[in-house]
């Protein structure tokens, strides 16, 4: 279904929660996304990480749409979105801004995972007018081991297997685990390389104090890809950021411990809505 741009729809008390898959054309790109409710001025927008797709948020589907409309994106070259992956975090942030303008979401609550957090931090510098930000497994700098980048270049299947095994703490969810690997393989060698190099080149450490938005930073206590010290750094250098550590979880904390993660995100979204309605 190709979206036509319509009028801004004000958020109502009762929100339609039946999910609908849509595709929005932005120039030559097509952005596939799951809509839980019709996009309104205040909506929650979810961004996945490197080589992934909206399936990252499987355990967040239908969890927050009673509060506000929720949109789960497939970034270009990922999942069911067309085109190629982008090669810088800044380019993804520009696309994020373009998407939100197109769907007329003017006060988003943005939720990102891993590379998605980098995109949101970059976006926060260029578009400060949003209601709140949730960073899950993120950091102000996302260095990638050169061995991983080299392995993606030489043996994609082996690289995907190695990356996938580092996403989880101890036990993995088999169906979810297979989906993560499938998403990375579908992204392809060039696509995955673009994402990981974009992460490796990302560094917003000098600019964190400029980000004034209310922010919740969540990380698993046993995340080896973006360790808890990354989240503590965000909380210590962003004026309105607080950290929440979830015990015995890895990089896919929102899948490993969905009940705790969802409860914390739910409360944060509710607070953002209340603060937005009072302004």
Please write the tens of the pLDDT for every residue from 184-208.
999 999 999 999 999 999 999 999 9
Residue 15, domain member (yes or no) = no
Domain extent at residue 249: 20-278
- What pLDDT, on a 0 to 100 scale, did the predictor assign at position 3? 35
Of 67, 80, 85, 84, the closest CA to residue 24 belongs to: 80
Give this prediction's pTM: 0.92
Residue 106, domain member (yes or no) = yes
> Does 172 or 15 have the greater pLDDT score?
172
Q: How many residues does the chain have?
A: 279
- What pLDDT, on a 0 to 100 scale, did the predictor assign at position 221? 97
Give the number of domains in the chain: 1
Residue 173, domain member (yes or no) = yes
Residue 8 has pLDDT above 60, yes or no: no
Please write the tens of the pLDDT for every residue from 66-110.
999 999 999 999 999 988 999 999 999 999 999 999 999 999 999
- What pLDDT, on a 0 to 100 scale, did the predictor assign at position 2? 32
Q: Tell me the mean pLDDT in the region 16-45.
A: 92
Residue 14, domain member (yes or no) = no
The dihedrals phi and psi of 92, each to the nearest 5 degrees, come to -65, -40
Residue 9, domain member (yes or no) = no
Residue 172 has pLDDT above 80, yes or no: no
Residue 13, domain member (yes or no) = no
Residue 5, domain member (yes or no) = no
- What pLDDT, on a 0 to 100 scale, did the predictor assign at position 256? 93
- What pLDDT, on a 0 to 100 scale, did the predictor assign at position 279? 56
**Mean pLDDT, rounded, of the chain:** 91
Share above pLDDT 70 across residues of the chain, in percent, rounded to a whole number: 92
Residue 200, domain member (yes or no) = yes
- What pLDDT, on a 0 to 100 scale, did the predictor assign at position 277? 64
Instruction: Tell me the C-alpha distance between 191 and 77, whole Å.
Output: 7
- What pLDDT, on a 0 to 100 scale, did the predictor assign at position 276? 76
Q: What is the CATH number of the domain that holds 235?
A: 3.40.50.1820
Confidence of residue 13 (pLDDT cuts 50, 70, 90): very low
- What pLDDT, on a 0 to 100 scale, did the predictor assign at position 12? 38
Of 61, 206, 8, the closest CA to residue 125 belongs to: 206
């Amino acid at each position: 279904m190709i979206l036509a741009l319509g009028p801004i729809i004000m958020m109502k008390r009762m929100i339609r929660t039946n999910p609908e898959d849509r595709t929005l054309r932005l120039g030559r790109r097509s952005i596939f996304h799951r809509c839980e409710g019709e996009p309104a001025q205040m909506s929650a927008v979810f961004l996945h990480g490197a080589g992934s797709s909206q399936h990252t948020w499987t355990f967040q589907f239908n969890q927050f749409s009673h509060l506000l409309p929720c949109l789960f994106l497939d970034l270009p070259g990922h999942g069911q979105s067309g085109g190629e992956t982008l090669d810088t975090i800044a380019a993804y942030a520009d696309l994020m801004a373009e998407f939100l303008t197109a769907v007329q979401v003017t006060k988003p609550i943005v939720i990102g995972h891993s590379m998605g957090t980098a995109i949101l931090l970059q976006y926060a510098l260029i578009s400060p007018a949003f209601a709140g930000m949730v960073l899950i497994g993120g950091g102000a700098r996302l260095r990638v081991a050169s061995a991983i980048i080299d392995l993606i270049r030489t043996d994609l299947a082996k690289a995907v297997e190695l990356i996938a095994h580092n996403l989880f703490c101890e036990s993995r969810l088999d169906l979810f685990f297979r989906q993560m690997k499938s998403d990375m393989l579908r992204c392809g060698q060039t696509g995955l390389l673009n994402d990981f190099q974009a992460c490796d080149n990302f560094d917003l450490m000098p600019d964190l104090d400029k980000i004034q938005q209310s922010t919740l930073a969540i990380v698993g206590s046993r995340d080896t890809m973006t360790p808890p010290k990354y989240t503590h750094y965000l909380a210590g250098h962003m004026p309105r950021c607080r950290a929440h550590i979830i015990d015995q979880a890895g990089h896919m904390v929102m899948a490993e411990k969905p009940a705790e993660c969802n409860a914390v995100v739910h409360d944060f979204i509710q607070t953002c809505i209340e603060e937005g309605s009072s302004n």
